[in-house]
Structure 1
Amino acid sequence: MKSIVIQQPNRLDIETRSLPEPAVGEVRVKVKLAGICGSDSHIYRGHNPFAKYPRVIGHEFFGLIDAVGEGVSAARLGERVAVDPVISCGHCYPCSVGKPNVCTSLVVLGVHRDGGFSEYAVVPERNAWTVPDAIPDADAVMIEPFTIAANVTGQVNPTPRDVALVYGAGPMGLTTIQVLKGVYNVGQVIVVDRIEERLEMARQSGADMVINNLNQPLAAVLEAQGIRPTLIVDAACHPSILQEAVLLASPAARVVLMGFSSEPSSITQQSITGKEISIFSSRLNAKKFPVVIDWLSRGLISPAKLVTHTFAYQHVTDAIELFENNQRQCCKVLLTFNE
């Protein structure tokens, strides 16, 4: 089989590897589609502190179960499945309180263990979620990105009364916008970004108001309209955002952080406690695959609005370079395997 391997930062090879056999409790997935994420680019460029090399990248993937290991029912053969990349122990404190995404022995496919940019991938059976036949393949491969939004919104319980502000109209921001509007019917969703084409995608995903803060200060625009967001999501992941978010937030607001920057954010306790703002953080997903599959089955989200390009896996280098360098025309890029 062919696998996309990052040998070391900035060195990508397409290797011929032996077909893997599933161990006890595992299944082998014949991969059909995989999505490129920013974290894949970060591993390729050597900017992911969690990655170990060499590594088959890819944590957004979909395919068919074509082999099962001991202890797995043969009835699962042929199932269409989306793969949850989060592998957890199931018994540590985070796992016991419903947060396997921060398990003390966390393993993420495509980061700590080989992932789905391969013609075949072996994964734990419990991580292979059955996708109903009514959901198209191109939507099924987008389940994992939407679990990020499911994890964010699941923590803060959005309501129609909320005024939501989303920083960033990249893939994480766009999935969050769709979930806020399509699932939770949030009254007003405001999106801020510096790329007009991304702001147009935000409109198409349901944003009620978009602001280009390259041309005008966000605070001034909101203040002029008397807007005090009750829910703020940082999907741009810059350390400077927290300070501004807390200042802009309504009393009793919720702020969600998604970034991994090691740079400090400058903020005072008084600015948080004075308004009793709740600050949340979100990493990966905590068993949200069934949630997103249900949303897709009910037509509440539209993954196709985010997909802008599709490449055969043999052209992965071109695909990643497009993803990295053309944020105006490119959003979510898919790779095809086993067509």
Structure 2
Amino acid sequence: MKAFQVRAPHEFSIAEVAVPTLAPGEVRVGVAYAGICGSDMHIIHGQNAFVRFPRVTGHEFAGVVREVGAGVSGLAVGDPVCVDPVIACGSCYPCRIGRPNVCSRLQVLGVHRDGGFSEEVCVPAANAHRLPPGLPLAQAALVEPYSIALNVLERMQFLPGDGLLIYGAGVIGLTLVQMARALGIADITVTDVLDDRLATARTLGATRTLNGRETNVEAAMREATGGEGVPLIVDAACHPALLPEIVRLASPAGRIGLLGFSATPSELVQLEIIKKELTLVGSRLNNGRFPRVIELLATGRLDAAALISHQVASQEMPGAIELIERHPEQTRKVLVQWGGNA
């Protein structure tokens, strides 16, 4: 079968690979659409410490069940599904306390094992979520990035009336805007350095946008909050140099959500954190958020179509990667069509 395979950093192609063997407890999914994520770009550049090459990447995908393995119930051939890429052991400490997304033996589809940039993929049946009638497979491929947004917002324990500041208006920043709106957060500020992305953020519900190259974000937010600071801040830009500013901008009792995987140290003043009793929340992947996201999409409270800027055939994926690299201002979510009942 055809798949997008990364053989080594900067070495990738559409290749012929072996059809995966279906194990008991798994389903075989014919992939219809898979989204290109920043994490996929990191793998291509050799910037992911967890991946082993060669690897079929892709962790945001939806398709149709083509075969059901032994012992599987609740799914049938022909069912449309989206797939949660988080595979946990179920027995380690994080799993025992209900945090399988940070399992000690975590496997992520498209990172630790082959993923969804392929015509077919075999996944644990528990990870395949049946879609309600009427939800397009293209939109269902975005359940995973929305689950990232839902996970961090719920971990931050937002309260009625809390204002939210989002650093970064890439796809994760934009999913945060939509998710925050769907959850009832009304005051949403987004900062980025690309005006096109900020315009999209406004279209999706941001109440205030700031271009960080043209505006002193810290001064602007102090003025906007009357000097009180911001209760909720999410770093979706994932740049360690931003963290000191974020800590200064957070209000007393504020919550800061961190999504980046950088190994670069950040300089933090302990006094700022303690005197304001700030909560710094790391958020990785998602912890069982798929059903809630599917519900929000199916009821129209999230608009996945607004995030999709391009759809390309599988053979055009290398060119799509070049487009994302060279012209980030022109892209939001780029979907790759693999033909599984798309």
Scaled by the length of structure 2, what TM-score is found? Answer: 0.96
**Structure 1 partner of 2:196:** 197
* Secondary structure of residue in 1 paired with 2:22: coil
Equivalent-residue separation in structure 1 for 2:302 and 2:165 (angstroms): 19
**What are the superposed Cα offsets for residues 255-303 of structure 1, whole Å, 9 maximum, x if unpaired?**
0111111111111111001011111010111111111011112211111
Over aligned residues, Cα RMSD in angstroms?
1.2
Equivalent-residue separation in structure 2 for 1:283 and 1:251 (angstroms): 25
**Structure 1 partner of 2:147:** 147
Equivalent-residue separation in structure 1 for 2:18 and 2:164 (angstroms): 49
C-alpha spacing 1:123/1:232, structure 2 compared with 1 (3 Å): same
Equivalent-residue separation in structure 2 for 1:28 and 1:86 (angstroms): 17
Equivalent-residue separation in structure 2 for 1:244 and 1:20 (angstroms): 47
Alignment of 1:18-33 (within 5 A): 18-33=18-33
Cα distance, 1:13 vs. partner? 2.3
Residues 75 and 130 in structure 2, CA contact (< 8 A), matched pair in contact too: no
Cα distance, 1:44 vs. partner? 1.1
Equivalent-residue separation in structure 1 for 2:45 and 2:125 (angstroms): 31
1:245 aligned onto 2:249? no
User: Which stretches of structure 1, 4 residues or longer, exceed 6 Å deviation after superposition?
Assistant: none
C-alpha spacing 1:75/1:300, structure 2 compared with 1 (3 Å): closer
**Structure 2 partner of 1:121:** 121
* Secondary structure of residue in 1 paired with 2:328: coil
* Secondary structure of residue in 2 paired with 1:39: helix
1:48 aligned onto 2:63? no
State the AA in 1 paired with 2:221: L
**What are the superposed Cα offsets for residues 10-59 of structure 1, whole Å, 9 maximum, x if unpaired?**
11122223332311101100010000001111111111111110000100
**Structure 2 partner of 1:292:** 293
1:310 aligned onto 2:311? yes
**What are the superposed Cα offsets for residues 294-314 of structure 1, whole Å, 9 maximum, x if unpaired?**
111221111111110111010
1:212 aligned onto 2:207? no
Cα distance, 1:74 vs. partner? 8.2
Which moved further from structure 2: 91-100 or 25-34? Answer: 91-100
1:67 aligned onto 2:67? yes
* Secondary structure of residue in 2 paired with 1:250: strand
Equivalent-residue separation in structure 2 for 1:72 and 1:275 (angstroms): 50
Residues 68 and 75 in structure 2, CA contact (< 8 A), matched pair in contact too: no
State the AA in 1 paired with 2:144: E
How many residues get paired? 338
Residues 159 and 185 in structure 1, CA contact (< 8 A), matched pair in contact too: no
Scaled by the length of structure 1, what TM-score is found? Answer: 0.97
**What are the superposed Cα offsets for residues 120-179 of structure 1, whole Å, 9 maximum, x if unpaired?**
001111110111122112211111110101111111232331111000000111101111
State the AA in 2 paired with 1:37: C
**Structure 2 partner of 1:8:** 8
Residues 27 and 123 in structure 1, CA contact (< 8 A), matched pair in contact too: yes
* Secondary structure of residue in 2 paired with 1:251: strand
C-alpha spacing 1:74/1:148, structure 2 compared with 1 (3 Å): closer
Cα distance, 1:75 vs. partner? 5.1
State the AA in 1 paired with 2:77: L
* Secondary structure of residue in 1 paired with 2:260: coil
Task: Extract unaligned runs of 5+ from structure 1.
Answer: none
* Secondary structure of residue in 2 paired with 1:328: helix
* Secondary structure of residue in 2 paired with 1:82: strand
Which moved further from structure 2: 151-160 or 89-98? Answer: 151-160
Cα distance, 1:221 vs. partner? 1.1
State the AA in 2 paired with 1:31: V
State the AA in 1 paired with 2:187: Q
**What are the superposed Cα offsets for residues 60-101 of structure 1, whole Å, 9 maximum, x if unpaired?**
111000011111138521110101111000111111122111
State the AA in 2 paired with 1:326: H
Residues 148 and 285 in structure 1, CA contact (< 8 A), matched pair in contact too: yes
